Structure 1
Amino acid sequence: MTAAHPPLAAQVPATAFLTALARAEATADPRSGLRDPYAEHFAAHCPAAIRRVTRHTAGTSSLVTRTVAVDGLLTGLFAERAADPVGPPWEVCVNLGAGFDARPYRLAWPAHCRVIEIDCAPVLDLKDRLLPTAAAPVPVERLRCDLRDLTALAGLLRPRTAGRRVLLIAEGLLNYLSEAQVRALAAELAGIGDAWICDVLSVASAGGITAAARTAGTPLTMHGLADLTPFEATGWRCDHLDLLPTAQLSPRPGATTGLLPDSVLRLRRHS
């Protein structure tokens, strides 16, 4: 007899559901500043064990602030292009570790900017069921890939982005990669993207979230960065930084330690 496969939702990484839960809760709160009517579709499928993680951490508000900050930086880059009609448009937006993100559906997205979403198969398989690409107002393509496999990632992205102006998003992704993996990813993306919006955790915050997840019985390991070296050494410069609510766990910018706080970054590729 063939063993039954686990339900698709059970194969989805906890991070995708945790983010959807936070966005759905924020959407129901008019004070949050976030409106994501699609988040509840995904949150409704979240396993109980993952829901319990939020009882042991204060990270929900940080997830919402992170999403709002990424929204702001993204729309800001689109506005820059609108204010400069002779400048090159954003032709492709690559969303790395896209999860259940619905930005092309809920934001005023430029008609000329196609979207490429990359994540693992269970996430995108469920997303295809609940939020079909055909319903998007702009072209959306979903690619299954392990983002730690840079050879496979490059093989997917380079033919689709060559000669085009590319905007990268990586919300909630880098916190699951070691510093060495972040550096390797940044080096690969420097040959693909022109701007990159991402978020980082401090070493202290990453350790706290990992401990909270283990208390809840969910195997979740987070990684933090001490500074911007993985980006700066690979061809990127940071031109904007927004602090996240959990940044109080890290030294403030300008402290003598120089440690990086929990934040959302806008990076530009060196000319």
Structure 2
Amino acid sequence: MDATSVPEGVGGTALAVARARAAETARPDRLFADPLAAVFLEAAGNPEPRARAAMEPEAVRAVVEMYHWIVARTVFLDSVATTAVQDGIEQVVVLGAGLDTRGFRLGWPSTVVLFEVDRSDVFAFKESALRAAGTEPTCRRRTVAVDLREDWIPALAAAGFAPDSPTLWIAEGLLTYLEADEVDRLLSAVTAASAPGSRLAVTALRIAQDEVGAPAAATDPFEDIRGLWKPPGPIDIVDRIAAQGWTVEVSYPRDLLVEAGRVGVQEEPTAAGPRLIQAVRVG
């Protein structure tokens, strides 16, 4: 596939996530397996990451922290999704799906309907790579090409979404790239479309207001990604979700990675105080 078709901007950040997932999949002590991550990298022309030997210590530390963050959130969301399906939820919506492959690798039954929501340029790249790999999902997968900053619920409904069925909503790494008012509109739309018993799983960095738009350090290997971050607004994301009528539970990547034996108790494995959030719609 021509690497020039790789999506840019926020869509392009999915390749950084795929690179981390491919690296984790190749480890003998891997915490998850995502074989399609390498497929996406190959389709993109196998862009080479910057060699660590050429980095300053601060940059190496940032790369390791980002890697831990991606691994931890993948393990967390895999667990939440697996549990939800085992508990009988048969409708899953991945918001800002990027190069998510849970419908292919978690063994969901054909009774599960998966909606992946993202921009058309992301799907143009992703679907081409999947076709070339000749791989099929285990569940019923439907792509919904729409910008989540717009009115996206009608497009989801047109794809067959059933608002009266309990739904698992997943937003991995998405909210960081939305303005505060866009986050509020997204959460309101999700809540309005959620039957009782629906679940929501969100990963969220804790970004200080003054971090957004600040000049990047010369050693920052993620300057392009940080440049896409949006101001978080005055209300914390956990409070925003709770205010919509969800029962919220928060966990932390560091605890997950310590429990998995990936990092030592005294190590600091994640950047910017990220959180792993799951919530249940009670009524």
- With the shorter chain as reference, the TM-score category is 0.7 to 0.9
Compute the displacement of 1:65 (Å).
1.0
Q: Which runs of 5+ in 1 are unaligned?
A: 82-88, 251-260
% identity of equivalent residues: 25
TM-score by length of 2: 0.75
Superposition pairs for residues 1-271 of structure 1, below 5 Å? 7-9=4-6, 11=8, 13-46=11-44, 51-52=49-50, 56=59, 57=62, 58-79=65-86, 81=87, 89-132=88-131, 135-149=136-150, 151=151, 153-159=152-158, 160-193=161-194, 194-204=198-208, 207=211, 211=216, 215-216=220-221, 218=224, 220-223=227-230, 224=232, 226-238=236-248, 240-245=249-254, 261-271=273-283
Q: Is the 2:66–2:270 Cα contact (8 Å) retained in structure 1? A: no
Distance 1:6 1:70, change over 3 A: closer
Secondary structure of the corresponding residue to residue 7 of structure 1: helix
Distance 1:208 1:61, change over 3 A: farther
CA RMSD of aligned residues (A): 3.3
C-alpha deviations, 1:62-104, integer Å up to 9, x for none? 101110111011112223x2xxxxxxx3231111111111111
Give the AA of the match of 1:182: V
TM-score by length of 1: 0.78
C-alpha deviations, 1:180-201, integer Å up to 9, x for none? 2212211110011311111111
Compute the displacement of 1:42 (Å).
1.0
Q: Is the 1:14–1:50 Cα contact (8 Å) retained in structure 2? A: no
Give the AA of the match of 2:25: T
Secondary structure of the corresponding residue to residue 125 of structure 1: helix
2:213 and 2:108 mapped to 1: Cα distance?
33
Deviating beyond 3 angstroms after TM superposition, the runs of 4 or more aligned structure 1 residues are: 45-56, 204-217, 223-227, 245-250
Structure 1, 20-29 or 196-205: larger mean CA deviation: 196-205
Q: Which runs of 5+ in 2 are unaligned?
A: 255-267
Q: Does 1 or 2 have the higher relative contact order (CA < 8 Å, sep 6+)? A: 2
